[in-house]
Amino acid sequence: MIVIGNGAQECVIRRSIVRRAGVGIQFSAGGTGWVEDCVIESARVGGIDMSYGSAIVRRCRIGVTEQSLGGAQGRLEVYDSILEGGTYATINSTTTIIVRNSHILNAGGLSVKGLVSAPNEYLDLRENWWGTSDASQIASWIDDQYGTVTWQPIQLGPVPTESTSIGELKASFGID
């Protein structure tokens, strides 16, 4: 488990693999940062947990766990990533989470447990692939108690989530 907390600011976690943890990466106590090109596998409870802080996640893969993304307080933005699903909920949040150009997959639980009720908090999940293009099916996977989850329009098929430029490819191998 990697914890960014105690007010640590602008921390970067890049090209890391976290396996067999309770939670893969947690932001707490006002910690902020970026998570890029990481893999979280076999986490028992959660992939990325936003207890209190803010983070931007890019090009990551979170394997099946109880919840891929959890949010209590703060802001979490996720781009170009694969959330393989949660047995409780793929995304479970009471705070702002934005996910774009990603795969939000279902692993048996809800895809979204949206408990966001504050007037300035929301879940913005537009422009993602949900493992299906059936809007009725997707709607049945979303628990939106306060009407703060926006999920349409959706991508109608899988979206590219990996680095494709030569610079990004070189960087993934540590080549300048």
Please write the tens of the pLDDT for every residue from 49-76: 999 999 999 999 999 999 999 999 999 9
The count of domains in the chain is 1
Domain of residue 36 covers 2-166
**Does the residue 173 lie in any domain?**
no
**Does the residue 175 lie in any domain?**
no
E strand residue ranges, the chain: 2-4, 11-14, 17-19, 23-27, 31-36, 39-41, 46-50, 53-58, 61-62, 67-71, 74-79, 82-83, 89-93, 96-100, 103-104, 110-114, 123-124, 142-144, 149-150
**Does the residue 50 lie in any domain?**
yes
**Does the residue 115 lie in any domain?**
yes
- Per-residue pLDDT tens digits for 23-54: 999 999 999 999 999 999 999 999 999 999 99
What pTM, to 2 d.p., does this model score? 0.90
